[in-house]
């Protein structure tokens, strides 16, 4: 009995001890939480990396999600628009390779940086925005088509890594200048794939804890279009969507395209002012850049149209590979990826191919941005954005101020969905006559959300005014309409005021030897 009593006492002591222990632990816990910080495993912040991808001759509506090109599939670009931002009103100041690329790199109008054609040399003292990134600690790389102001491929300032090629380059078996060394490629190597391979390789070599800037500049989809071997013939049976304005200056379309009314029913209901359609437009359809004599008959329009779509597939795959690399390496969240075209491209509108002019398909470009930490999925930016805004935007994302010489504005607030007071509501345009392509005159103009005014300089042609809401095909020139004289005069004043205020009243001629090809124009200059 005595033993049982001892056992009972021991059990009660154990219970009491357990209670005291629990109370003590609870008190300690409260004291710890009140006076101590719990250890954490927070990751250091990711650097703000930037990837800028530029395509050549990519028009604003040639993406799968727009539905403009029947059957076209661009899953990577569609994803950028779906998960990021689509700038629906993006325009270039000049729809031509070198001037547009110079504007992107400098944040200046073409008449300011003075690279106004594809031959004008780079003036001394011009500063490219990657130089500011480089000085602030970014590792920088340029890969692809430079073609800005000269035909050279030598390394340019602002880049730690350089890979380029001379002039327009070639689609197959290119030779690259890699950091000053010529490297040839064979075995049917395709340029879009190669540029992406080198870009991924450079990314693999970067310190993931330090910021980088990659400028991937594709040759594609520059004419004359050549798709990757795996994409040849993918769209061979795709129906062609001929634009209504393609037939206006053609007296008999049935020989080439079939009756206009059956191909484009909307053609019958368009209000057209043929009298005031500029003569240079009517005449150019039978030239190197016209649908009836394109490239002097080297290719049919239908094949041309489909090859463009097939060549674009390689660019879309490149974008997809870059995005996948960011995700695989845990860098997608804070990396800003921007995709853009350097200018648009005509496919029969007004009977034209190519760019240079101020019609929508030429001056308007695709512009997409993707950065999960910055941009909400499905963001649509309706404000007017131009290529001179790229430099200040990328610098702003890196936390750098806009240099005083830049004329563009950062659109980071627009990407974040913020309301910006006094944001521009119009786009200005300039193009300067070229010796090598004399059919298109010098022109200046301004485009609002409703109207477009085009001043055709130095030719005996009518100027142009279009109501883009009522006339999206830009075929009813209202320049002589009594009801529209006030708006025409107002836009004309705005255009001249823009040129005067930004130092653009003098055409920046350069003493250079232009190429004068017999294949372009048979005659003398």
**HSE-CB for 98 with a 13 A CA cutoff:** 22
% of the chain with per-residue pLDDT over 90: 79
- Could you read off the pLDDT of 400-425 as tens digits, one per residue? 999 999 999 999 999 999 999 999 99
Query: What residue segments make up the domains of the chain, in order of their start?
Result: 50-236+300-432
Q: Cα(318)–Cα(324) distance, rounded to whole angstroms?
A: 10
Q: Per residue in 90-137, pLDDT tens? A: 999 999 999 999 999 999 999 999 999 998 888 999 999 999 999 999
pTM confidence score: 0.88
pLDDT at 119: 86
Give the pLDDT of residue 210: 97
Tell me how far apart the alpha carbons of residues 218 and 185 are, in angstroms, rounded to a whole number. Answer: 17
Query: What is the average per-residue pLDDT within 374-379?
Result: 98
Q: Is the pLDDT at 85 greater than 80, yes or no?
A: yes
d(CA 161, CA 212): 11
Q: How, if at all, do strands 181-184 and 353-354 pair?
A: unpaired
CA distance 17 to 2: 23
CATH of domain 50-236+300-432: 3.40.720.10
Residue 19, pLDDT > 50, answer no
pLDDT band at 523 (very low <50, low <70, confident <90, very high): very low
Q: What is the pLDDT of residue 11?
A: 52
d(CA 117, CA 106) in angstroms, rounded, equals 16
* Residue 88 burial by Cβ neighbours in a 10 Å radius (0-12, 13-18, 19+): middle
pLDDT range class, residue 268, cuts 50, 70, 90: low
Q: What is the mean pLDDT of residues 216-231?
A: 97
Whole-angstrom Cα distance, residue 389 to residue 400? 14
Cα–Cα distance, 36 to 372 (Å, whole number): 35
Question: Higher pLDDT residue, 282 or 7?
Answer: 282
State yes or no: pLDDT of 39 exceeds 70.
no
Q: Tell me: the pLDDT tens digits for 291-347? A: 999 998 889 999 999 999 999 999 999 999 999 999 999 999 999 999 999 999 999
């Amino acid at each position: 009995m005595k033993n049982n009593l001892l056992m009972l006492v021991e059990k009660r002591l154990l219970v009491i001890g357990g209670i005291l222990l629990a109370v003590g632990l609870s008190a300690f816990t409260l004291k710890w939480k009140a006076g101590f910080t719990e250890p954490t495993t927070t990751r250091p912040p990711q650097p703000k990396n930037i990837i800028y991808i530029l395509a050549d001759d990519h028009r604003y509506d040639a993406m799968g999600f727009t539905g403009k090109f029947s059957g076209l599939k661009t899953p990577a670009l569609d994803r950028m628009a779906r998960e990021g931002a689509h700038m629906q009103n993006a325009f270039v100041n000049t729809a031509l390779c070198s001037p547009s690329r110079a504007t992107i790199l400098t944040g200046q109008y073409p008449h300011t940086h003075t690279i106004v054609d594809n031959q004008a040399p780079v003036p001394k003292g011009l500063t490219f925005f990657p130089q500011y990134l480089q000085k602030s600690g970014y590792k920088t790389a340029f890969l692809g088509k430079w073609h800005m102001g000269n035909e050279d491929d030598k390394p340019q300032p602002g880049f730690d890594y350089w890979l380029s090629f001379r002039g327009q380059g070639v689609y197959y078996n290119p030779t690259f200048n890699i950091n000053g060394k010529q490297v040839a490629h064979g075995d049917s190597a395709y340029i879009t794939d190669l540029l992406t391979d080198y870009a991924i390789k450079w990314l693999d070599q970067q310190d993931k804890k330090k910021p980088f800037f990659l400028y991937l500049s594709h040759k594609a989809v520059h004419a004359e279009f050549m798709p990757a071997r795996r994409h040849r013939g993918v769209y061979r049976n795709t129906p062609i969507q001929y634009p209504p304005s393609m037939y206006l200056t053609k007296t008999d379309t049935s020989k080439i395209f079939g009756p206009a009314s059956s191909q484009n029913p909307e053609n019958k209901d368009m209000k057209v002012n043929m009298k005031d359609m500029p003569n240079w437009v009517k005449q150019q359809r039978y030239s190197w850049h016209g649908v009836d004599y394109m490239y002097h008959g080297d290719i049919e329009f239908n094949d041309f149209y489909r090859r463009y779509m097939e060549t674009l597939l390689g660019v879309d795959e490149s974008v997809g590979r870059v995005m996948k690399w960011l995700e695989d390496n845990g860098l997608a969240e804070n990396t800003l990826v921007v995709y853009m075209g350097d200018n648009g491209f005509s496919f029969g509108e007004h009977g034209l191919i190519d760019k240079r002019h101020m019609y929508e398909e030429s001056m308007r470009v695709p512009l997409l941005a993707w950065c999960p930490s910055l941009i909400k999925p499905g963001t649509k930016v309706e404000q007017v954005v131009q290529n001179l805004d790229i430099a200040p935007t990328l610098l702003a994302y890196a936390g750098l101020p806009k240099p005083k010489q830049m004329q563009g504005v950062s659109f980071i607030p627009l990407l974040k969905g913020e309301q910006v007071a006094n944001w521009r509501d119009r786009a200005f345009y300039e193009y300067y006559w070229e010796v090598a392509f004399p059919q298109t005159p010098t022109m200046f103009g301004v485009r609002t959300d409703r109207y477009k005014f085009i001043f055709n300089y130095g030719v005996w042609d009518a100027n142009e005014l279009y109501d883009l809401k009522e006339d999206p095909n830009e075929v009813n020139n209202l320049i002589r309409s009594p009801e529209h004289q006030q708006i025409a005069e107002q836009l004309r004043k705005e255009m001249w005021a823009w040129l005067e205020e930004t130092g653009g009243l003098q055409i920046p001629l350069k003493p250079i030897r232009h190429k004068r090809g017999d294949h372009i124009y048979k005659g003398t200059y």
